[in-house]
């Protein structure tokens, strides 16, 4: 059983992928070829944003967004402590300081109710993460932010909706990733930024290409963050089946929820939102033991993420301690992700749920045997 089945996906779209890649090999424009503008147009149309700026990774998408706002030394960026490391890493690389806000235990996203307490005169941006494929509570975050720009880290949520609007178009700038395991993934590294602000779009395009506005003329400092044409070709092929895959992900997520109800804590989707289920993440009491039980039954699992960012050694200088963000810390100890992809068969889905139930029951019995006080009566 595959945790994410990219091989079956390829077989399903092989003709289109091969044809599009072959076209790149024929025209020979491997960087910023015509596929880039075609992809940007298609992605912008899908999200409803005026501009899409394709780039070389989701991490670089965050970099483009922050450099476009001039974020740097002495600035603060408010974000979540429960995310992939790149979210905070880019803030630090620019010389700014990540300021963490604890998460909502029901969605694992930044808790909008706690946001105002973290905003200071040094706050240059708010960076919420739409984790596991579900959008953060973006309207509440944008309202609390006021004039402070909000950049959605939508690395895991391209294709998700929030109040009938698309992720990546819920704030001034949205950034996503096309890493192969993402809901829309290429065959290497890729990412994109989205905005409806003309000036920001132009700045991000310049940053993407060494700060150039025309060849060898550099109004600003930038980086090499261009997407290659082959990755754009792959994404164009995958877009042809993306709606079908998003629907299948929703169906798999809903069925998991039915089968696992009352057995483990399952994802909670906000009213008015639709998750794209980049991961299907549950909570269990003894994660290590649970993963061993699932492995013994032939079911792969993964942990996203085992340590909150404020407790990472790289951030020891910020002075945070264990207990500062108890919700994020608890999540890091208990979350575990199950196989989730649009090619997961109904038979395998039911089998995974059965193995989860069996594993939980085995652990319960073991706990009762080693701790007699837990036995009923």
Catalytic residues: 182
Residues 6+ apart with CB under 8 A from 364: none
Separation CA 265–CA 106 (nearest Å):
10
Question: What tokens appear for 257 in the block?
Answer: 């929820």
Separation CA 222–CA 205 (nearest Å):
9
- Three-state SS for 260? helix
Strand-pair partners of 209 = 224
- Three-state SS for 333? helix
- Three-state SS for 175? strand
Separation CA 303–CA 325 (nearest Å):
19
Comparing C-alpha atoms, which of 60, 109, 83 is closest to residue 275? 109
- CA Rg, the chain, in Å? 21
Comparing C-alpha atoms, which of 232, 229, 192, 195 is closest to residue 208? 192
CA distances from 112 to 139, 145, 252 (A): 9, 10, 29
Helical H runs in 2-136? 6-27, 34-47, 58-68, 86-93
Residues 6+ apart with CB under 8 A from 169: 47, 48, 49, 194, 196
- Helix 6-27 to helix 34-47 angle (10° resolution) is 130
Classify the phi-psi angles of 13: left when phi > 0, otherwise alpha if psi is within -120 to 50, otherwise beta. alpha
């Amino acid at each position: 059983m595959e945790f994410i089945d990219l091989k079956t996906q390829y077989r399903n779209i092989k003709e289109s992928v091969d044809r599009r890649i072959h076209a790149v090999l024929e025209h020979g424009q491997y960087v910023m070829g015509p596929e880039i503008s075609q992809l940007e147009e298609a992605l912008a149309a899908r999200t409803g944003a005026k501009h899409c700026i394709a780039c070389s990774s989701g991490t670089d998408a965050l970099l483009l967004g922050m450099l476009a706002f001039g974020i740097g030394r002495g600035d603060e960026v408010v974000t979540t402590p429960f995310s992939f490391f790149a979210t905070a890493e880019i803030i630090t690389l620019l010389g700014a300081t990540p300021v963490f806000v604890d998460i909502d235990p029901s969605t694992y996203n930044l808790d909008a109710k706690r946001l105002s307490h973290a905003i200071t005169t040094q706050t240059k941006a708010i960076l919420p993460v739409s984790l596991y494929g579900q959008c953060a509570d973006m309207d509440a975050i944008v309202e609390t932010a006021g004039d402070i720009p909000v950049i959605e880290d939508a690395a895991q949520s391209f294709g998700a909706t929030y109040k009938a609007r698309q992720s990546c178009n819920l704030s001034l700038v949205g950034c996503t990733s096309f890493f192969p395991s993402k809901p829309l993934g290429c065959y290497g590294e890729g990412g994109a930024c989205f905005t409806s602000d003309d000036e920001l779009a132009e700045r991000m395009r310049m940053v993407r290409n060494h700060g150039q506005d025309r060849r060898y003329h550099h109004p600003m400092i930038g980086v090499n963050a261009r997407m290659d044409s082959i990755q754009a070709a792959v994404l164009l092929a995958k877009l042809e089946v993306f709606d079908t895959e998003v629907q299948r992900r929703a169906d798999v997520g809903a069925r998991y929820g039915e089968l696992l109800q009352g057995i483990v804590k399952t994802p909670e989707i906000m009213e008015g939102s639709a998750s794209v289920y980049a991961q299907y993440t549950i909570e269990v009491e003894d994660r290590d033991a649970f993963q061993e039980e699932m492995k013994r039954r032939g079911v792969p699992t993964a942990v996203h993420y085992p340590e909150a960012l404020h407790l990472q050694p790289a951030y020891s200088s910020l002075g945070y301690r264990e207990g500062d963000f108890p919700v994020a810390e608890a999540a890091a100890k208990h979350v575990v992700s199950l196989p989730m992809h649009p090619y997961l068969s109904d038979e395998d889905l039911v089998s995974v749920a059965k193995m989860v139930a069996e594993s939980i029951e085995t652990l319960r019995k073991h706990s009762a045997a080693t701790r007699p006080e837990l036995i009923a009566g």
